[in-house]
Amino acid sequence: MMMLEPPADAIAITGFMGTGKTTVGRLLAERLGMAFIDTDERIEAHAGRSIPEIFAAHGEEHFRDLESEALADALATPGRVVSTGGGMLLRDANVAALRQVGPIICLTAAGETVLARTSADANRPLLRVADPAGRIEELLAARQECYARADVHVATDARSPEEVVDAIAEFLAADARGRWLAGAQTVIPLDLPDPGYAITVGRGLLESLGEIVPAREAGVRAALITTDRIGPLYAERVQRALAQVGWDVAVLTVPDGESSKRLEVAGDLLGALAEAGLDRGGAVFALGGGVVGDLAGFVAATYMRGIDLVHLPTSLLAQVDSSIGGKTAVDLDAGKNLAGAFHQPVAVVSDVAALATLPAVELRSGLGEIIKHACCFDAEMFALLESRRDAVLRGDGVVLEYLVARNCQIKAGVVEQDPHEAGLRAVLNYGHTVGHALERAAEGWALRHGEVVGAGIVAESRLAAWLGLADQETVSRQEALVAAYGLPTEVAGVGEPVALAALERDKKIVAGKLRMPLVPAIGSFEIVDDVDLELVRRAVRSVLA
């Protein structure tokens, strides 16, 4: 458990109802040796009635007035952790008051998590409706912009209160205001035949982005492409950081999810770039996960036959994998990634702080690629993943920063030697031959990429043993690590005929044989040129539930 010194006059814990503000606030105050105040409890004590009764008698606006008064009272004495009501950030004056004394920590949770936590609580006046689930989604959408004004966002889904406090601890620095400062940056150069670029990994990098990617001159036009989920969290601070060094940035937002990775969406974005006045000297900044990276990269590759691209990945999967290497694509009706181009970015900036807002399922998805790299390249990292599982899954910032930097280093080294997937880069497909077959066979693309990579690693490790390349301990360690991180070692809901038919469409098949990377020992790989397809079919069957 990380111990802390009191870092500010006050620390605000805010967020939507049901995210655990009071519980987390009390624990954080105890760890810091600070007093704890819950503004809702203070309002009820002063009014002599419950919040539902206040709502019923005087309405929401009156309650917001009481809320502001309670906040002012709470902040009058320094040295407090203040848990606020879910709507505290709706008023600009409240935000300004909180910013004057310390950091604002916003706890987040998915709508279904909030519903599960609040369904039995009668003390929720805003949810006294016929459709509470719909009301939760409506309120979350309405408050998304105001919650984005917090300094730090910490996801509470599938985390205990103690784990949430651990995550908050990663963000509190020892400076007078208690703001979390950027740690040391890791800069990984990537030398290519074309002009190379650098991958920068650290914490707090989005705020200092202008120092990493300055404009060539004042007024250079750029487009920041992001999603309606990621944009409210980070777009404003990115735009501000870039404007400070001369970029003139237009923010372009697409719906979150794979459905945006389509030619028609790319066409709309290309038109928006033209309307924003981007010329050959402009740039596209891709802010988000793998979908945004692929889509924005495709747009940058095709606009005026190619303009500069900067990746700002916010998911673990994008930070360790998809943002590196220059592959861009959109989906067609016939399948995923069928229209695309190689277009290397001019910079990749991975702010590990962004991973704090990542849902647990997305964190695990990115771990599939990290486990793949450890299997093939780094026995020490594999051992670290075995021994530090709890720290990784609770989002320990120091451990994640190391993992992101080390995995970027591994992938950059491969891409340098094989920028266009002509040879060595095949090793990055470990776990993917079986994994892609499972992904294509799952109805509606229901399996996440990291999930299928995990199952693919299990299947292909068994294949290596059948070929006599690996012993059983090597197989067992890989399967145990995949399972330890909550990734499937077998998948349900995928029919064998459909999975095998998907396997037959693998573009690496030549004359009934496959060229595949396999792992003879942890931390090493061997590319095998003539794997019999029947053995691969057996591997697929071995992970079907």
CB-based contacts of 45-50 (< 8 A; 24+ apart in sequence): 46/70, 50/123
Q: Alpha carbon of 7 to those of 95, 99, 174: distances in Å?
A: 19, 14, 6
Query: Among this protein's residues, is 117 annotated catalytic?
Result: no
Spatial distance between the Cα atoms of 525 and 522, rounded to a whole number of angstroms:
8
3-state percent helix, strand, coil for the chain, nearest multiple of 5 = 50, 20, 30
Cβ atoms of 328 and 269 closer than 8 Å: no
What's 301-342 look like in SS3?
HHHHHCCEEEEEECCHHHHHHHCCCCEEEEEECCEEEEEEEE
Query: Among this protein's residues, is 432 annotated catalytic?
Result: yes
Tokens 């001019």 locate to 346
Cβ atoms of 361 and 449 closer than 8 Å: no
Choice among 80, 429, 451, 479 that is catalytic:
429
Choice among 421, 477, 490, 538 that is catalytic:
421
Choice among 170, 369, 451, 460 that is catalytic:
369
Choice among 5, 264, 305, 507 that is catalytic:
305
Strands across the sheet containing 152-155:
35-38, 80-83, 10-15, 104-108, 152-155
Of how many residues is the chain composed? 545
Choice among 221, 364, 436, 448 that is catalytic:
436
3 state DSSP class of 348: strand
Q: CA triplet 63, 64, 69: central angle to 5 degrees? A: 95
Choice among 327, 372, 440, 462 that is catalytic:
327
Choice among 124, 372, 406, 425 that is catalytic:
425
Cβ atoms of 338 and 298 closer than 8 Å: no
The letter for the amino acid at 16 is F
Query: Among this protein's residues, is 436 annotated catalytic?
Result: yes
45: nearest Cα among 36, 34, 35, 54: 54
Query: Among this protein's residues, is 425 annotated catalytic?
Result: yes
Query: Among this protein's residues, is 449 annotated catalytic?
Result: yes
Spatial distance between the Cα atoms of 349 and 435, rounded to a whole number of angstroms:
28
Q: Would you state the structure tokens that stand for residue 227, as one six-digit string?
A: 């999603």
Query: Among this protein's residues, is 216 annotated catalytic?
Result: no
Choice among 221, 411, 440, 462 that is catalytic:
411
Listed in order, strand segments (DSSP E) in 161-319 are 186-190, 197-202, 220-227, 247-254, 283-288, 308-313
Query: Among this protein's residues, is 473 annotated catalytic?
Result: no
Query: Among this protein's residues, is 369 annotated catalytic?
Result: yes
Query: Among this protein's residues, is 411 annotated catalytic?
Result: yes
Choice among 203, 449, 460, 479 that is catalytic:
449
Q: Alpha carbon of 74 to those of 39, 71, 145: distances in Å?
A: 7, 5, 25
Please provide residue 3's backbone torsions phi and psi, each rounded to the nearest 5 degrees: -95, 145
Choice among 124, 311, 432, 462 that is catalytic:
432
Question: What DSSP character marks residue 520?
Answer: S
Residues with catalytic function? 305, 327, 369, 411, 421, 425, 429, 432, 436, 449
